[in-house]
Each structure stands twice: as C-alpha cells, then as structure tokens.
Amino acid sequence: MPALATKLSNASAPATIAMSIRARALRAAGHDVISLALGEPDFATPTHVIDAAHAAALDGQTKYPPVDGTLALKQAVVAKFARENDLDYALNEVMVANGGKQILFNALMATLDPGDEVVIPAPYWASYPLTVELLGGVPVFAECLEADCFRLKPEALERAIGPRTKWVILNFPNNPTGAVCPADDLRALGKVLLRHPDLWILCDEIYEHLVFRDVPHVSLACAVPALHDRILTLSGVSKSYAMTGWRIGYAAGPASLIKAMLVIQSNATSGASSVSQAAAVAALNGPQELLPVMRDTYRRRRDLVVEALRSIPGMTCAMPDGAFYAYPGIAGCLGRTSAGGKPIRTDDDFALALLDEQHVAVVSGSAFGMSPYLRLSVAADDESLAEACRRIARFCADMR
C-alpha cells in the first residue's frame, strides 16, 4: 500500500473529540451518559439568525462566495471590532473562514518554515500544538500555574521566547481553564512582546463575550496599540451566538498577513458557506440580548460545578473567570484504585475509568498540556451538571 505523509506520524484527533466518540458509543449501547467533553453551547441558535439564513437561501445567495468573505459580513466584522473592541480595521484587513480553526491553520501555514517555534501558554487548546507540528513548526510551552489562576506571567512568556520563535499564541478567556487576562496583565505581557519585534501574535478571543468579571473583555491590540501591526485577532460566532455548526470564524490583522492567509484558503476550501455568512451578519448586526443571558447562565453553572468539585476530597479547582469550563486538579486522587479495579495513576486513567464506571465524560488534562487535571464543560443543563458532580464525587469516594 502507498505510504502516508510522515508529518502524520504523530498527528491524531483531539482528545475532546475522541472522548465524545467514546461517550456516544456508550450511550448508543444503552447507558445513561452525561458528556461534559465538548466545548459547545447548549443554547439554540437565535431565531432571527436562522431566519436570515433561510431568507438568503430563498434570495439565491447559494453560489460560490468570495474567498475573503461576503462584503456584508466583512462590513459587519469591521463594525463589530470598532464597536466592541475599540479597534479600527479596513476591509482588506479582515477575512472570513470556515471556523476559527481554519484561521489558525491559514495563519500558521502562511508563515511557518520548518523548525520555526510557536510559543503556546499551557494549559492550551489541543489544536494549537497539533496544528503547529502538522505544519513543520515546533511548539514551545509557557506554563501557567493554578496558583496564578492559570494566567500567563510575563517572566514565563519571556523564558519561552527564543531565536526561532515566529508566533506567540494567546487565548483569553482561555480554553481549557477559563482564565481571563485583565488589561494590566495584557500591558505587562505587551512589554515583553515589544522587546521581540520579529514575532507575530495570535490573539484567540473566541470566548470574548463570556467574561464573568465586572469588567469588559479587552483585546491586546487595544491595550498595547504599539503591537497592533503584529497582531492577528481571531474570533467567530460559534461560542457567542451558539452557532458551532454554522462554521464561521473571522480574523483581523495586517493586510499583508491577511493576503497571505487568503492564498492558503483559496487553494484549500475557498470561501465559507454563503448561507452561513448571511446568518453571521444577522448575528453580529442584530439583537444582542442572548449574550448576557448566556453569560449569566454559564456563571451560575460555573458556581454550581466549582462548589461541588471543591467539596470532593483530593480535588482542587481554581475559579474560572470566563469561557464555560472548569479545570479541577486531581493530584490527591492518584495512586488509588477505582471501584471497578482500575489503577488511577494518571488523569487519563481517571477520565477513562470515570466514563466506564460512572458514565461521565470529561477530558484529561494531558490533552491540554498540564496534568493531573480534568476539563469539564459547564455548557449543559443544571440538572445534568449536578448529577455529573454527584457521580464524580461517588467515583472518588468509592476509590480505595
């Protein structure tokens, strides 16, 4: 049989997807499974967004769209950045893609040469290092500690930057920890980045509307204007408007970088779905009442889950200030054996045994670069979350 590319030798599906597949298989076999593995809002897409997509389809907006996005959506993105982030961009400085993940892929493929390094704070979204490695780059990790509520410290960032660094990726609010980076922290990180003028900076702000503090989200390009021309700011409609399946991400940055990213996209997928783009226009330009409802709901669920997890002997849990995840530490649960006879030496062991014995799907911290932890999504109804926490407590109490 002909060989596959050697670059795929270490590539695999993200652990979040793998755990969700395992959970679905158990559910199909008749088990009552509660899955907290995927980061997906449990709200419905707003009706006016769906209506806009339907109207666009009836209007004949079903042909090939522009590679960089429809004019209406690009204008909506420009207006959004000005309105919500205090950032000014021209139309040739924004682009639309098939989800935020394609923005990441386009940017790295357009800029990375073999051996180039990408600094990624850990814990991290699993696709960051996987994509870097797939494209011939080398991920370098800057550790964010639970004691610091998983916020990136300037000294950790400085240590990670080296002569081969091409990119620094910042993701706040953070997946998987829910960490938020306030303006003062951003300015401190900015001082480090200003000392390294040859670096690109990717700010993944996909969770920007899910901040539980009483202060608004701040973009690095606004907090440190001197970095504006080196920053690619990524966002999208998936998390904020419950539109994960519509597959619309967008980004703003220097025109030269956007142009290079569009070369990649034009040869990979062309433009994103025209109907989905019409829906995204309605989301960005239309009523915004869903945003505070989602934020307040996730805040309440966060409080429920964190309180429950902190009451379990052997667990710790930093308070997440954004997104919709909890990231509990389980160091005190290791070295024991589950009720089903499985040794619990690692967070992988814990997550697999928890699914098999209590039918709760979570993702081990090893998938996000920091163990021993678990990632739980709180994007589920209150009763499911409460029952999941009861099952996790029972699982821990039954270990010996």
In Å, what is the CA distance from 170 to each residue of 5, 127, 128, 198?
30, 13, 10, 16
pLDDT in tens, 82-97: 999 999 999 999 999 9
* Domain-embedded: residue 100: yes
Task: Please give the sequence-ordered ranges of beta strands (E in DSSP) within 77-134, or none if there are none.
Answer: 94-97, 117-122
- Are residues 253 and 332 both part of a single domain? no
- Is it the case that residue 6 has pLDDT exceeding 90? no
Query: Pick from 285, 318, 346: which residue ends a domain?
Result: 285
* Domain-embedded: residue 337: yes
Supply the pLDDT for residue 328.
98
Query: Pick from 268, 285, 302: which residue ends a domain?
Result: 285
- pLDDT tier at 14, thresholds 50, 70, 90: low
- Rounded average pLDDT over 251-275: 98
In Å, what is the CA distance from 323 to each residue of 113, 150, 171, 173, 299?
32, 13, 11, 6, 9
- Are residues 17 and 87 both part of a single domain? no
Query: Pick from 285, 305, 336: which residue ends a domain?
Result: 285
> Among 232, 226, 171, 177, which residue's Cα sits nearest to residue 200?
232
Diameter of the chain measured on Cα atoms? 64
Hey, is 6 helix, strand or coil?
Answer: helix
pTM over 0.85: yes
Supply the pLDDT for residue 11.
67
Cα separation, 254 vs 242, whole angstroms: 29
Cα separation, 1 vs 356, whole angstroms: 36
343, two tokens: 């040794």
- pLDDT tier at 18, thresholds 50, 70, 90: confident
- Are residues 355 and 225 both part of a single domain? no
Cα separation, 82 vs 40, whole angstroms: 27
> Among 381, 371, 386, 362, which residue's Cα sits nearest to residue 16?
362
The mean predicted confidence, pLDDT, of the chain is 96
Supply the pLDDT for residue 9.
72
- Is it the case that residue 13 has pLDDT exceeding 70? no
From 131-135, 172-176, 212-216, 264-268, the region with the lowest mean pLDDT: 212-216
- Are residues 256 and 330 both part of a single domain? no
- C-beta separation of 97 from 68 below 8 A: no
**203: phi then psi, degrees, rounded to nearest 5:** -105, 105
Supply the pLDDT for residue 363.
96
Check residues 26 and 93 and name the one with the higher pLDDT: 93
Label residue 155 exposed, middle or buried (CB < 10 Å: 0-12, 13-18, 19+): exposed
- Are residues 130 and 171 both part of a single domain? yes
* Domain-embedded: residue 241: yes
- Are residues 192 and 331 both part of a single domain? no
Hey, is 375 helix, strand or coil?
Answer: strand
Hey, is 127 helix, strand or coil?
Answer: helix
- Are residues 281 and 303 both part of a single domain? no
Given CA atoms 166, 124, 88, 80 in this order, what sign does their dihedral have?
Answer: positive
- Are residues 353 and 388 both part of a single domain? yes
- Is it the case that residue 15 has pLDDT exceeding 80? no
Distance from chain centroid for Cα 1:
37
* Domain-embedded: residue 55: no
- pLDDT tier at 325, thresholds 50, 70, 90: very high
**56: phi then psi, degrees, rounded to nearest 5:** -65, -40
Q: What CATH number should be reported for the domain holding residue 355?
A: 3.90.1150.10
Q: Which domain holds residue 242?
A: 64-285
* Domain-embedded: residue 49: no
- Are residues 171 and 185 both part of a single domain? yes
- C-beta separation of 398 from 339 below 8 A: yes
- Are residues 364 and 235 both part of a single domain? no
- Is it the case that residue 12 has pLDDT exceeding 70? no
- pLDDT tier at 16, thresholds 50, 70, 90: confident
Cα separation, 66 vs 88, whole angstroms: 22
* Domain-embedded: residue 1: no
* Domain-embedded: residue 54: no
Q: What CATH number should be reported for the domain holding residue 136?
A: 3.40.640.10
Helix or strand holding residue 326 (H, E): strand 325-326
- Are residues 19 and 36 both part of a single domain? yes
- pLDDT tier at 367, thresholds 50, 70, 90: very high
pLDDT in tens, 196-250: 999 999 999 999 999 998 888 999 999 999 999 999 999 999 999 999 999 999 9
- Is it the case that residue 10 has pLDDT exceeding 80? no
How many domains does the structure of the chain reveal? Answer: 2
Q: pLDDT > 90: what percent of the chain?
A: 91
Cα separation, 39 vs 127, whole angstroms: 13
Residues near 344 by Cβ (< 8 Å), separated by ≥ 6?
333, 334, 335, 336, 337, 338, 350, 353, 399
Beta bridge partners of 377: 325
Cα separation, 338 vs 342, whole angstroms: 5
Supply the pLDDT for residue 25.
87
- Rounded average pLDDT over 113-121: 98
- Are residues 240 and 196 both part of a single domain? yes
